[in-house]
Structure 1
Amino acid sequence: MITVSAPGKVHLIGEHAVVYGEPAIIAAIGKRTFVTLEKSPSFVYKDGRFDEATEFSLEEAFEKAGEAKKLWQECFEKKDFSQLFAFVKKDYYGNYRKAAVGLLAKKFGIDHGLKIHIHSEIPAGSGLGSSASLAVALTKGLAEFAGKRLSLEEIYNTAFELEHFIHGTPSGGDHSPPCYGGLIWFQRSQPRNIIKSLKQEIPYQLENFVLVYTKEPEKNTGELVQAVRNLPEDYRNPRIKEIGLMTEEMKGALIRKDFFKVKELMNKTQRILAELGVSVPEIDEIHEAVKAIGGAAKLSGAGGGGVMICYHEDNEKLNETIRSLGYEPLETDLGVEGVRVE
């Protein structure tokens, strides 16, 4: 039996601007997905977040992996992934489970069944990278079980293949923190995105950060990105550029451990994201309340609800403020270790 875990992720700064080629800083968070594997006659896949276990044969896993790859190619050519998304979500993501296991079993030469048990501390659909964390942990777990010692880059590239089944054309940003850990400098670029670990420059974990789940967004990430894209260029572009410059400043502030500057940059970024139309009253309320006690708070990810990231030197004061508004704070360190064998 073997257990592997990988952390979730949170955008510290740079969301939305990253779509336009500006940098973002993404952090591995102290909430993890655990994958436990043991040999079995068939494959039995159980995710603690869902009631149903999925049982299937190796042949069925290979078949679903082939179907998913073929469907991805067809959807890519049509520039419409709705058919792929419907396929992977079927039967509580049963097809995704089979396709993911099939792809990994083929890659690593696994010729027998496995009991696969998933336990995740990361709420699904929270914007904290639950699917990316799972893809990285599954990849590492099945590789270890097959006696393969993959480099982090190999784990990253393989997990990226799995993420294509869930997200169509993922950026690669979400599963870099679960893989490498720490803080990640991410920038879209051609022919390859820039993904750089900041461990050498910022070797410490960031403490006193709190995550708050506000509400389920009414619009998905794609719709929110499109809403920003629809803004007049002369209104949108200077704000996008400003977020990019503040991401550069944030890196410098973290290197210097200047958390007064970190707070200033978080609050400024939230103001600009609100101007871009991706904030909501719940986020604005928390932002103003945390700012009033000398802290910082901003949305993280696409916005429209979802997760906020908050910071104050006095964790107790911060938690009290958040609870007074009817929300439950989730305390976590940022910049934690990436994928590992437990």
Structure 2
Amino acid sequence: MNKVVVSAPGKIHLMGEHAVVYGKPALIAAINKRLVATVSASEKFEIESPEEKKLIEKAVEVVCNRFKITDPKIHIKITSTIPTGRHAGSSAAVSVATVGALLYFLKKIWNPNLINELAYEVEKFQHGTPSGGDNSACTFGGFIWFRKELEFLKTIWQLPFQPSKKLAPFHLIDTGRPNENTGEMVALVRTFFNEYKDKGRMLLDQNEQATKDVTIAIKEGNEELLTDAIRRGEKTLEGLGVVSTKVLPLLEDIEKSGGAAKILGGGGKNGPVGLVLAYHRDSTKLKKIASKHDKMIYNIILGEEGVRLETGKKYGN
């Protein structure tokens, strides 16, 4: 086999980011933005990628160490439609797609559970102490209910439904690349918890309820519950200190218009926060608000397919 092509979706946290690090549930959805990893035979080891090459090198190291492979002569090419540095799962998709392509190219193995296990090891290199939720969503796709009780005890449940057709489309608004990375924001929250344990526990409990309510609302198409739960969840993130004051006017305008919005992923402290998830029955109002704040907006599809072998399909031509 001269070439293997594997794709993985981006992901967003519908609710539960940061709280998931402390044993609370997160609802994560794969989205219709994908990253493609192509592994082919080469005379030497080469990487062609807009993504950080060290992450790809780590994926190679993890796979080769597992199967005792030395000095692989391969060319790895990465292409992507996932926004980078915006908390949309770009690094997790790199880890998942690269691991999947390497496993199939080097060992003819296609096993999503193994892909997820090894991608999690790659994610540790990138984020230090990740929950494992992002790589799980990129691997299995759909909607993932994720909860980490202990390092060796995780609930990863692919929810058996798609969003109710009663709901309007979800949108992402790009506020710009955060000044801080996810690891820095996780450390900031850890410092907050060390100083304000009681308040932290209260915010986590509120976030957990918002996560459950968002899940119910998406399944049942309950727009009122969905809007309220997104708003409540956003307030808990503001309480944890991961929402920059510079994006609050945008969020407030969306709420005043009858919609709801929240940050995604790590967030940001002093500037942009990456992507904002927005929901409104009237998408025209959302687009006007985004234009007012000079931000790019686009609709997304939630619950997309996970890691996928593309060899012989459109990406493999």
1:172-205 CA deviation, whole Å, 9 max, x = no partner?
Answer: 111011100011111120241221111x144779
Q: CA deviation at 1:46?
A: 0.4
| SS of corresponding position for 2:146 | strand
Instruction: Please state if 1:114 is matched with 2:78.
Output: no
Q: For residues 167 and 316 of structure 1, do their structure 2 counterparts lie closer, same or farther at Cα, with a shift above 3 Å needed?
A: same
2:239 aligned to 275, 281, 295, which one?
Answer: 275
- 1:303-318 aligned within 5 A: 303-304=267-268, 305-318=273-286
Q: CA deviation at 1:231?
A: 4.6
Q: Which residue in the other structure is 2:173 paired with?
A: 212
Q: Which residue in the other structure is 1:86 paired with?
A: none
- Contact 1:100–1:162 (Cα < 8 Å) also in 2: yes
Q: For residues 20 and 169 of structure 1, do their structure 2 counterparts lie closer, same or farther at Cα, with a shift above 3 Å needed?
A: closer
- Contact 1:108–1:143 (Cα < 8 Å) also in 2: no
- Contact 2:171–2:278 (Cα < 8 Å) also in 1: yes
| SS of corresponding position for 1:193 | strand
Provide TM-score, normalisation by structure 2: 0.85
Instruction: Please state if 1:193 is matched with 2:154.
Output: yes
- 1:173-322 aligned within 5 A: 173-190=133-150, 191-198=152-159, 200-202=160-162, 208-219=169-180, 220-304=184-268, 305-322=273-290
Q: For residues 161 and 18 of structure 1, do their structure 2 counterparts lie closer, same or farther at Cα, with a shift above 3 Å needed?
A: closer
**In 2: Cα distance, 1:275 partner to 1:5 partner:** 36
- Runs of at least 5 residues in structure 2 that lack an aligned partner in the other structure: 311-317
Q: CA deviation at 1:2?
A: 2.7
**In 2: Cα distance, 1:222 partner to 1:246 partner:** 20
**In 1: Cα distance, 2:287 partner to 2:137 partner:** 26
| One-letter amino acid of the counterpart of residue 125, structure 1 | G
Q: Which residue in the other structure is 1:13 paired with?
A: 15
**In 2: Cα distance, 1:153 partner to 1:331 partner:** 30
Q: For residues 106 and 242 of structure 1, do their structure 2 counterparts lie closer, same or farther at Cα, with a shift above 3 Å needed?
A: closer
**In 1: Cα distance, 2:226 partner to 2:170 partner:** 11
| SS of corresponding position for 1:175 | helix
| One-letter amino acid of the counterpart of residue 295, structure 2 | Y
| One-letter amino acid of the counterpart of residue 195, structure 1 | I
Q: Which residue in the other structure is 2:304 paired with?
A: 336
- Number of residues of Structure 1 aligned to a counterpart in Structure 2: 298
Q: For residues 224 and 256 of structure 1, do their structure 2 counterparts lie closer, same or farther at Cα, with a shift above 3 Å needed?
A: same
| SS of corresponding position for 2:169 | strand
| SS of corresponding position for 2:86 | coil
Q: Which residue in the other structure is 1:157 paired with?
A: 117
- Contact 2:62–2:118 (Cα < 8 Å) also in 1: no
- Runs of at least 5 residues in structure 1 that lack an aligned partner in the other structure: 51-91
1:122-153 CA deviation, whole Å, 9 max, x = no partner?
Answer: 23321112111011001111122235233221
Q: For residues 114 and 8 of structure 1, do their structure 2 counterparts lie closer, same or farther at Cα, with a shift above 3 Å needed?
A: same
- After superposition, the CA RMSD in angstroms is 2.4
Q: For residues 8 and 264 of structure 1, do their structure 2 counterparts lie closer, same or farther at Cα, with a shift above 3 Å needed?
A: same
Q: For residues 117 and 294 of structure 1, do their structure 2 counterparts lie closer, same or farther at Cα, with a shift above 3 Å needed?
A: same
- Contact 2:27–2:145 (Cα < 8 Å) also in 1: yes
Q: For residues 151 and 259 of structure 1, do their structure 2 counterparts lie closer, same or farther at Cα, with a shift above 3 Å needed?
A: farther
| One-letter amino acid of the counterpart of residue 213, structure 1 | D
- Contact 1:207–1:333 (Cα < 8 Å) also in 2: no
- Contact 1:283–1:299 (Cα < 8 Å) also in 2: no
**In 2: Cα distance, 1:15 partner to 1:102 partner:** 28
- Contact 1:207–1:334 (Cα < 8 Å) also in 2: no
Instruction: Please state if 1:104 is matched with 2:68.
Output: no
Q: For residues 228 and 215 of structure 1, do their structure 2 counterparts lie closer, same or farther at Cα, with a shift above 3 Å needed?
A: farther
- Contact 2:85–2:178 (Cα < 8 Å) also in 1: no
Q: Which residue in the other structure is 1:70 paired with?
A: none
| SS of corresponding position for 1:169 | coil
Q: CA deviation at 1:301?
A: 1.7
| One-letter amino acid of the counterpart of residue 25, structure 2 | P
| One-letter amino acid of the counterpart of residue 102, structure 1 | E
Identity of aligned residues (%): 35
